[in-house]
A = this chain, B = another copy of it.
Amino acid sequence: MNAQNSPIFDPLHNDSFLRACMRQATDHTPLWLMRQAGRYLPEYCATRAKAGSFMGLATNRDYATEVTLQPLERYPLDAAILFSDILTVPDAMGLGLSFAQGEGPRFATPVRDEAAVAKLEVPDMAKLQYVFDAVSSIRKALTVDGKGRVPLIGFSGSPWTLACYMVEGAGSDDYRLVKTMLYSRPDLMHRILAVNADSVAAYLNAQIDAGAQAVMVFDSWGGVLADGAFQSFSLAYTARVLAQLKRTGAQGQTIPRIVFTKGGGLWLQEMAALDCDVLGLDWTVNLGRARALIGGSENGPGKALQGNIDPNVLFAPPAHIAAEVARVLDSFGTPYQGTGTGPTHIFNLGHGISQYTPPEHVAALVEAVQTHSRQLRT
């Protein structure tokens, strides 16, 4: 894309994240962290304690706004991400989401037979109004002198990832129940995924209407599928979501789309055909190879790449963190620096940050990304 038809963004103090999503040059490699508003922050734990429970936190506009902004007060991050859960959509379908203390999510009514599948439908988006209210509230809280500090990312789980939880009823080690359905009754699995895709599309469009400035699809469990099954049961339905998404917000501003399949490194070439702007990568992927494969060239097509340091690096001392940050940045190499479009990198973890992470180590990581990525450009 050249200067004449550059995308329009919302007015922002720092639009580096959106620019990098659209493969435009930035003065440093923009940075945010998956699950950046989370339990590693004592202030998050304090707000959660006030809210009483995870869902109490996620469904309350004011609390959700408060925790979304907390990491931005500590660190110069280049994007905010809506505080919510990937499982709000199946909850709105009536499956009864809960989070027991110290455990993962659980559905009261998992979807395991033909009758349960037949009952599924795209939920009334009014049931998710608390999410859209949080988006609007966060946008307002991010506004300083009439402009946003950084853009706000909206998100959803992918159709396949939602299906995993809907069938298993909880997290799983082996995905036995959902894969049993997939291999035994592919017709039922396709019906679940079609409903999920249409629901996710409506959900993300409503987040865009409420003010989300980029959207991300978390295909957290795409990587557990076999080659062939991934393409049919995950990728195809992510594509179905993207086909229904708004390209622009209410003011005509471009809304970049990010797709992250954990464990999807073997399928990058197939994912490059997705109608999205950014691919998220986990730590198993070599960024240099990924750039050569799908990053594109100057003014040609390609995807921006997001990722991919191992979150466990944050348990090392700051000097080791800085060295690993440099390795990841150097692996991508110098990003595009011209006035058109070219290969760009958004720094992130390869997965959500651990609750045991020392907050001061996050500061060391952010500092290292800022410093080293500026050096890379000189």
Provide the residues of chain B in CB contact with A296, threshold 8 Å. Answer: none
**Of B183, B320, B324, B327, which contacts A315 at CB under 8 A?**
B183
A230, closest chain B residue (CB): B284
Known A263-B263, A266-B266: A315·B180 in contact at CB below 8 Å: yes
- Chain A 174-187 against B: per-residue CB contact (8 Å), 1 yes, 0 no? 11100110111000
A345 to chain B, nearest CB (A): 15
Q: Are A316 and B174 in contact (CB under 8 A)?
A: no
Q: Are A356 and B176 in contact (CB under 8 A)?
A: yes
Q: Are B263 and A183 in contact (CB under 8 A)?
A: no
- Chain A 299-312 against B: per-residue CB contact (8 Å), 1 yes, 0 no? 00000000001101
Known A283-B227, A315-B184: A176·B354 in contact at CB below 8 Å: yes
Q: Are A317 and B227 in contact (CB under 8 A)?
A: no
Known A176-B315, A179-B310, A312-B179: A184·B226 in contact at CB below 8 Å: no
Bound-complex Cα distance A179 to B310 (A): 9
Is A223 an interface residue when CB atoms closer than 8 A count as contact?
Answer: yes
Is A105 an interface residue when CB atoms closer than 8 A count as contact?
Answer: no
Number of interface residues of A (CB under 8 A): 36
Chain A contacts with B in 222-255, Cβ cutoff 8 A: 223, 225-230
**Of B174, B183, B285, B320, which contacts A266 at CB under 8 A?**
B285
Is A265 an interface residue when CB atoms closer than 8 A count as contact?
Answer: yes
Provide the residues of chain B in CB contact with A284, threshold 8 Å. Answer: 223, 225-227, 230, 263, 266
A181 to chain B, nearest CB (A): 9
Provide the residues of chain B in CB contact with A354, threshold 8 Å. Answer: 174, 176
Bound-complex Cα distance A223 to B224 (A): 12
Provide the residues of chain B in CB contact with A174, threshold 8 Å. Answer: 312, 354
- Please name 6 further chain A to chain B contacts, defined as beta carbons within 8 Å, in addition to the given A175-B312, A227-B283, sorted by A numbering: A174-B354, A179-B312, A225-B284, A226-B309, A230-B284, A266-B284
Is A12 an interface residue when CB atoms closer than 8 A count as contact?
Answer: no
Bound-complex Cα distance A115 to B285 (A): 34
Bound-complex Cα distance A304 to B226 (A): 20
Is A286 an interface residue when CB atoms closer than 8 A count as contact?
Answer: yes
Chain A contacts with B in 311-326, Cβ cutoff 8 A: 312-313, 315-317, 320, 324
